[in-house]
Structure 1
Amino acid sequence: MTAKPLWQGRALAVLGILLCAFSLRSAVASLSPVVDHIASDFPLSSAVLGLIGTLPPVCFAVFGLLTPLLERRLGIERLTVIALVAIATGLVLRGLVAESVGLVLATAVIFAGVGMGNILMPPLVKKYFPDRIGLMMTLYTTAMAFSTFVPPLVAVPVADAAGWRFSLAMWAVFALAGVLPWLGMLVKGRDASTGPRAAEAPGGAERRPERGVGIEGSPRNEWVPEPVEGPDFAITGPIATSPTNRRLFARLARIPLVWALSAAFGTSSIMAYVSFAWLPVIMIDVVGVDAATAGLLLSLFAFVGLPSSLLIPVLVVRFHATRPLFLFAALGGLTGILGLLLAPLPGLLWLWTVLFGLVGMLFPLALVLISIRSRSSESAVLLSSFVQSVGYTLAAIFPVLIGLLHEATGGWTAPLIVIGAVLIASIPAGMIAGRRRTVEDEWEARHSAW
């Protein structure tokens, strides 16, 4: 398939994806820096803060399961608009609340939208940029990484100057801006990746692409859509009525590759949520640094993942480097944990943090695999939903387990060993996820046609 310029006929899709990606993280990262400002207006108990901290993975898991059902009824573009509107509405409401219950409810609305957006982004990239998956995933994951750093940097100065309510609500501008490109495409009634929207099958049932032409033996071994064009439409792949989401979801649960992808994404989520919940406390208790230094080390942990957002999508799509990258990330993180266990010295703490921060590579790696391990945008939606729901369920459980283990043992040795064991256990999953096959290939090798 000949790649065309990124912006050619797809400018709205580029803007829509990047603005949505930015909103997925800025909506999450803008709250914690101004918690002290909020507490000066109304009380925030530890229970409320703990509930808010648990909401993201729980909402992501729940709405990850609901998103394919909604997408099938509404279409991926309409559901993206709904997700962005939910994020914007929740952000505005969060800036207007007068008590802690309202803050929790507004935050839940935000995370519901983010949960849908998380699932929809990889399929959107696959649908609109099948010829530029590596480049577009690079832009998308970089936008997410960038929006993780910007809110903590500006939230407090803005809150000091204009109040915490404005500091929280101002991020709604990006979500609302992200709505406009998708509305523009809906108004035009066009699929920017292939031309006017696909025709419908007799009887009103939408005709969706099922399969494409695989280029076996090619250097990139990518699935390339086979164009089927008519006077009024252009779609990809032979025309067939697709199985129901329930049937496809059941099939995914029987494919080892899907569980390997889920384990890879789950490992990434566990490392992130455990670190943001406990890493500063671990640094203070184990090494004896002050709170300010622990906060800087947490920022360093998050920053290490930024370069990987730029490089990994291209390395995976063009050079099939999934297995080496996964091993590098897992073994690097394991080395950082061993350093904290065996040599918890203040002078080496920055090195251990950087090494442990290499686990941040797993997030963009898992996202790009969701896009390239499925043949169509429809199956990518289901795969994204399955993988992210499993991953975020694990992310909701593990921070609590680590806290309970610390409380039971009175130290951090056992929790750190468990974190290291998770990384070791994930390596076989990373090797399976590195197979250059789609989930449809895996199913057809064991059963019948997808």
Structure 2
Amino acid sequence: MTGSLSPSKGRPLWHGRTLAVLGIVLLAFSLRSAVASLSPVVDLIAADFPVPPVVLGLIGAAPPVCYAVFGLATPWLEQRLGLERLTVLASALITAGLVARGFAVDSVTLIAATALVFAGVGAGNILLPPLVKKYFPDRLGLMMTVYSVAMATSTFLPPLVAVPVADAAGWRISLAEWAVFAVASMIPWIVLMLRDKSRVVERAKRDETLQDPGEDVSSPVASLPSRGDQEFESVTGPVAVAPADSRILHRLPRLPLAWAMTFVFGVSASMAYVSFGWLPQVIADVGGVSAAEAGFLLGVFSVMALPCSLVVPGLTVKFAWATPMLLLTSVVTGSIGLLGLVLAPQAFLYGWVVLYGLTGIMFPMSLALLSIRARTHESAVALSGFVQSLGYAFAAVFPILFGVLHGATGGWQVPLLMMVALLVAAVPAGVMIARPMTVEDAWTRRHGKW
């Protein structure tokens, strides 16, 4: 049984949409590379100016906080600027922040530049699902896979090259070089907007030239597009800005479906940010390994996102049974991995980390659901903003709480068991989001006409 809410067949991915493909992939790559490129060179930065632990803590907490704040603002801005224009603005913020981070002279300017980066990333996170919804309604699963793979690749690639580049050219170049991808991500959207504007002007001139002076311009026949127009629109897809309906933003908080999606997304983000902040130290302590090996095991945890990104989006879009099965797999494997670190860490250390890394299933699954649980890209913008902003705000709590519990108990058992409980708590929400309905359907069932 299929659970897709979009057509399963359509025109080839690249047919008339090459610029949109490139724009989405480059934007997706920029979102994660901007985040993952800083932590590997912090020690080198500290050699030039002091970077106190409190600053590192603020930088570590900045991503989910900025994602939450700017995630809430993005749907409002999209209503006024449009999807493509706001995408260009988000990429411009990322570019400016990355370059400014390379010119940082103290910890204050480093934090300010990092906040600018994450402002753009926070908006970009919200915009990607509706961009896919708008330009690829017939290829949702494939495009969600493509951009999830781009995000997964840009998560583990920067740590691999950051230090070698910093050793060769300095940490400033190592940080600023990723701005190249952010600049490149703006070009396809700018070209699409310019092309669309020029064709609208040309069409208006042509209609004015061909129109008969005695023709009734109010006639429905006179307003129909020509066959050439229809062929153009069927190939390129819609490019013109369509503002989101503000009513959607006010209706989502009244839908249990939207809250269930938010909770699952928040659990996924919590697993990631707790791991990025604490997993190396946990592994070094309970596994009895060196700091270098613990860092390598964090890389193993991160790499698990790549196979998940290849498989999960397509399954989520195509099959109704995929969402509950994928969530159950993530919860079971993640819980086993965490419990292994609690009960017998040294017996199967690498295996426990790999199993825990499969919690990465939830992230691409959540992104795919943002596209198929809304009928239009306007609804997808609002749903994406609601789910990601509140989900990241939820996730920002757990890295701090994890550290507080460790300090209070003097060990890692209680914090790790807290993460197990959080995974299990996601199961009821997962049952709700597995139902193949859109937010529009959910509203109609509970409140009447959308």
TM-score by length of 2: 0.88
Conserved in 1, the CA contact under 8 Å of 2:80 and 2:243?
no
What is residue 336 of structure 1 aligned with on the other side? 337
Equivalent residue of 2:51, what SS? coil
What is residue 215 of structure 2 aligned with on the other side? none
Of structures 1 and 2, the one with the larger relative CO (CA 8 A, separation 6+) is: 2
**Change beyond 3 A, Cα 1:173–1:243:** closer
Structure 1 runs of 4+ aligned residues shifted over 4 Å read 231-237, 241-244
Is 1:256 the equivalent of 2:256? yes
Equivalent residue of 2:374, what SS? coil
Provide Cα deviations, 1:378-424, integer angstroms capped at 9, x if missing partner. 00000000000111001111110111111111111111111000000
CA shift at 1:142, angstroms?
Answer: 0.2
**Change beyond 3 A, Cα 1:243–1:377:** closer
Q: Which amino acid aligns with 2:161?
A: V
What is residue 14 of structure 1 aligned with on the other side? 21
**Change beyond 3 A, Cα 1:349–1:394:** same
Q: Which has more radius of gyration?
A: 2
| Residue correspondence of structure 1 range 256-295 to structure 2 within 5 A | 256-295=256-295
**Change beyond 3 A, Cα 1:384–1:433:** same
Q: Which amino acid aligns with 1:447?
A: H
CA shift at 1:97, angstroms?
Answer: 1.4
Q: Which amino acid aligns with 1:280?
A: P
What is residue 390 of structure 1 aligned with on the other side? 390
Equivalent residue of 1:189, what SS? helix
What is residue 434 of structure 2 aligned with on the other side? 434
- Note the residue ranges of structure 2 that are not aligned, 5 or more in a row: 1-6, 204-222
User: Quick one: distance in 2 between partners of 1:243 and 1:12?
Assistant: 23
What is residue 169 of structure 1 aligned with on the other side? 176
Is 1:323 the equivalent of 2:330? no
| Residue correspondence of structure 1 range 130-149 to structure 2 within 5 A | 130-149=137-156
1:39 to 34, 46, 52: 46
What is residue 364 of structure 1 aligned with on the other side? 364
What is residue 353 of structure 1 aligned with on the other side? 353
Conserved in 1, the CA contact under 8 Å of 2:82 and 2:243?
no
Q: Which amino acid aligns with 1:432?
A: M
User: Quick one: distance in 2 between partners of 1:242 and 1:355?
Assistant: 43
Provide Cα deviations, 1:304-339, integer angstroms capped at 9, x if missing partner. 121010111111112231110110011110011111
Equivalent residue of 1:42, what SS? coil
User: Quick one: distance in 1 between partners of 2:287 and 2:185?
Assistant: 44
| Residue correspondence of structure 1 range 169-188 to structure 2 within 5 A | 169-188=176-195
What is residue 76 of structure 1 aligned with on the other side? 83
CA shift at 1:190, angstroms?
Answer: 6.6
User: Quick one: distance in 1 between partners of 2:160 and 2:419?
Assistant: 29
Q: Which amino acid aligns with 1:397?
A: V
Is 1:91 the equivalent of 2:89? no
- Note the residue ranges of structure 1 that are not aligned, 5 or more in a row: 200-227
**Change beyond 3 A, Cα 1:300–1:366:** same
CA shift at 1:261, angstroms?
Answer: 0.6
Equivalent residue of 2:105, what SS? coil
User: Quick one: distance in 2 between partners of 1:292 and 1:157?
Assistant: 16
Q: Which amino acid aligns with 1:395?
A: A
CA shift at 1:243, angstroms?
Answer: 7.9
CA shift at 1:244, angstroms?
Answer: 4.3
**Change beyond 3 A, Cα 1:336–1:58:** same
Say how many residue pairs are matched.
413
Q: Which amino acid aligns with 1:271?
A: M
CA RMSD in angstroms comes to 2.1
User: Quick one: distance in 1 between partners of 2:416 and 2:390?
Assistant: 23
What is residue 377 of structure 1 aligned with on the other side? 377
Conserved in 1, the CA contact under 8 Å of 2:153 and 2:306?
yes
User: Quick one: distance in 1 between partners of 2:250 and 2:397?
Assistant: 24
| Residue correspondence of structure 1 range 186-225 to structure 2 within 5 A | 186-189=193-196
**Change beyond 3 A, Cα 1:262–1:174:** same
User: Quick one: distance in 1 between partners of 2:147 and 2:72?
Assistant: 22
Equivalent residue of 2:348, what SS? helix
User: Quick one: distance in 1 between partners of 2:394 and 2:191?
Assistant: 37
TM-score by length of 1: 0.88
User: Quick one: distance in 2 between partners of 1:424 and 1:176?
Assistant: 41
